A and B are shown apart, each in its own frame.
Chain A
């Protein structure tokens, strides 16, 4: 058999006409490698598909806008984080005295505080989610892939971590290292990866019996490559969903810690803290609750749509 005379296989995807008995004219072989359609990397390909998803792109744009405003905004506004305006205690949104979204009970500009709070909330969400993602995915994939006794020990360690009271862990960290915002990142990250590890391990257990993993073994691919190239990419769908669920959880956890006096401290603030302050003033000054809540809700909405779009875009089957 020579390659030249071989008709390209007639088994096309369903619905294409069956080849007649005679040989199809062979396609001209590519004269050079460059002649073939350019290889599209998974990332490029995913981006192309993501950009076709209007909801996801809108969310992405809005999310970027929120982040930029939180970073840049405080410099442009005339008020400082802890600056008290003695002429305006608890006034509503107005254009007259540059308190565009009103002031809180202490006469501090609400917009300024919301933007400063956004920096804290978003960075906690970003760092803690990223930490939980990296640790959780690696831990879960390794545990599930190695299986047997190693898996047993690794997951029992996760169980022990689960059973430690979260508050106890945080207080312990405070005692040892003193009050520090980075401790919140560390504490939340150290707890959130546990769920992720369990989810990824479950996925891995199902995946590792698939034949393409076995084929990789037969090719002599190293274990580390099997985990990074075959297991993790195929477990990415549930992982992304879970990350989009982790972010709001982390933001709320941070506000809970701050509320207990273990998180960020006055005058620094966060969305969670602002919301809990707003709840107290709900009847007399509703904007104090509404403004930070709208920022938080918008961010979470965007993350959910973006997560959904990412999951679809990263799955080549949904093209």
Chain B
């Protein structure tokens, strides 16, 4: 068991880009023994995916690789492409982050799994189908006889990831490379997939190279861990040792990057700022000229109210309708039911009626890469709201406001003439926050503002949001699937599932004594670490 299966020895990868070489991986060494799990941990851009892709020899041609990757003693960097094709799928297989895009949408899943069997096991016809059914059964797809003929779009995200795992297992590999296999999934599904991987590992005795940015998974899942940063392994060892006694500053910083603290409650007598009565949103699926239209009900009648200075966390898995609810409350979507802002009913207002209110109700979106127009400078993006709501300001006054807003979100104001693509994810999210803040809003809808960010960046954005709230007395409507973030920011929490509110109460209540089974499952799956640790 202790003999190493995969040994990576002084691996360096350099990309020859038009504007000079970029070294993505520098002198990385680690090894995995049979049946063992090694987690490669690091933030985005740390080179962890490049390392694993190099092991499969799947890097683009402009990458220069030096060092050695030994699999069972054979240096994979030197073998012929033909031999490599046998290794892939047969000895080493891989599962990817995005189950939505890594399956071919035009082929039935049975065929996609069967293809691996034809290539590597020479299994054809009935035997092939039999084996596919077995595999589907093993990865826990319900009704495999029916599902084998499904197309990928008929399956949920979790099921697709199971299919990917079945494909990876089809060649009975000795090593499975899992590149962020659960990042795109809901927490409860994530827990199931991890459970599945663990049980399959025990059954087949395969080694797993597990790539992730999520340290809470690592603690529960991996035997060994290697922490990467800027293409180098800064620390490696047994998971427990590294977690209990981190040696490197960076590891410590990562481990420390848990959103902490609680929000100070808003004064009990503060007035209600925004409230919704029986809010419903439905989308037309099929429009018919005659007869009834078909609708999908995303939000099915929700009552809520937020007092000034309060933060209401809305929690739920993907598809629970939480983002839709947020957009409906800000009247960015058509909805039924009554929405009141400071006593006034705003549900009947049209676009121009809403316009004066827009500066008081602002949004920050999830995807810092999608929420900024790539063809406008940061200054233009931030000042756009001013042009709408304060047309009386001249250029210089606007510029002064932009500078103040950038300073407020701790960005260097001299960067205002640059374009969004020059900024990192965390900086872009700060720009998005500045765009909202410059209008001095009273209510801020935060729609998963930290989900796309690295953990350490997340913590800083959360601190920023908390400071801004205190300073300006802001009211937050905070939408997230990340329970630890919600716990750190919210006064009250509202748990949603399938367009309905399952449970509602103060943050303390929900987290310490969840009543509903669904809430309990969510909390359990989130591997929430006690803050004392």
Verify B370–A211 contact, CB threshold 8 A. yes
| Residue of A7, A8, A9, A10 with most partner-chain B CB within 10 A | A9
> Which of B249, B358, B373, B407 is in CB contact (< 8 Å) with A230?
B373
A18 within 8 A of B: yes
- For the complex formed, measure the closest distance between the CB of A281 and the CB atoms of chain B, giving whole angstroms: 48
Interface size of A by CB at 8 A reads: 48
Those of A29-79 within 8 Å (CB) of chain B: 29-30, 33, 36-40, 42
B203 within 8 A of A: no
Q: Which of A93-101, A116-124, A135-143, A218-226 contacts B (4 or more CB under 8 A)?
A: A218-226
A276 within 8 A of B: no
A80 within 8 A of B: no
CA distance in complex: A158, B250 (Å): 60
- CB contacts (< 8 Å) of B249 on chain A: these are 20-21
A15 within 8 A of B: yes
Verify B375–A234 contact, CB threshold 8 A. yes
Verify B355–A220 contact, CB threshold 8 A. yes
Verify B407–A234 contact, CB threshold 8 A. no
> Which of A1, A218, A236 is in CB contact (< 8 Å) with B363?
A218
B392 within 8 A of A: no
CA distance in complex: A316, B422 (Å): 9
Verify B388–A219 contact, CB threshold 8 A. yes
CA distance in complex: A218, B396 (Å): 24
Size category, B interface:
35 or more
Chain A residue with the shortest CB-CB distance to B46:
A14
Verify B365–A211 contact, CB threshold 8 A. yes
A156 within 8 A of B: no
How many pairs of residues, A versus B, come closer than 8 Å at their CB atoms?
Answer: 141
B389 within 8 A of A: yes
A11 within 8 A of B: yes
Verify A9–B427 contact, CB threshold 8 A. yes
Verify B413–A7 contact, CB threshold 8 A. no
- CB contacts (< 8 Å) of A319 on chain B: these are 419
B414 within 8 A of A: yes
- CB contacts (< 8 Å) of B426 on chain A: these are 9, 11
> Which of A211, A222, A316 is in CB contact (< 8 Å) with B367?
A211
- For the complex formed, measure the closest distance between the CB of A120 and the CB atoms of chain B, giving whole angstroms: 36
Given contacts A14-B424, A21-B249, A219-B388, contact A29 B413 (CB under 8 A): yes
A207-224 near B? 1/0 per residue, CB < 8 Å: 000111011111111110
Those of B357-413 within 8 Å (CB) of chain A: 358-359, 361-363, 365-367, 370-377, 379, 384-385, 388-389, 396, 399-400, 403, 407-413
Given contacts A40-B417, A317-B374, contact A11 B427 (CB under 8 A): yes
- For the complex formed, measure the closest distance between the CB of A37 and the CB atoms of chain B, giving whole angstroms: 6
> Which of B361, B370, B423, B460 is in CB contact (< 8 Å) with A13?
B423
> Which of A27, A212, A220 is in CB contact (< 8 Å) with B389?
A220
A233 within 8 A of B: yes
Verify B435–A215 contact, CB threshold 8 A. yes
Verify A217–B332 contact, CB threshold 8 A. yes
- For the complex formed, measure the closest distance between the CB of B423 and the CB atoms of chain A, giving whole angstroms: 7
CA distance in complex: A42, B419 (Å): 10
CA distance in complex: A37, B362 (Å): 29
B59 within 8 A of A: no
- CB contacts (< 8 Å) of A265 on chain B: these are none
- CB contacts (< 8 Å) of A27 on chain B: these are 412, 414
Can you spell out 29 A-B residue pairs with CB atoms less than 8 angstroms apart? A1-B470, A9-B409, A9-B411, A11-B426, A11-B460, A13-B423, A15-B45, A20-B249, A27-B412, A29-B413, A33-B399, A36-B414, A37-B414, A37-B417, A39-B379, A39-B417, A210-B370, A211-B367, A211-B371, A212-B371, A214-B327, A215-B363, A216-B384, A218-B358, A219-B435, A220-B355, A220-B358, A233-B376, A234-B373
Q: A3-B408, A8-B412, A315-B374 are in contact. List 5 more A-B contacts (CB 8 A).
A: A12-B427, A29-B407, A33-B399, A219-B388, A316-B419
Interface residues of A (CB under 8 A from B): 1, 3, 6-15, 18, 20-21, 27, 29-30, 33, 36-40, 42, 210-212, 214-223, 229-230, 233-234, 236, 314-317, 319
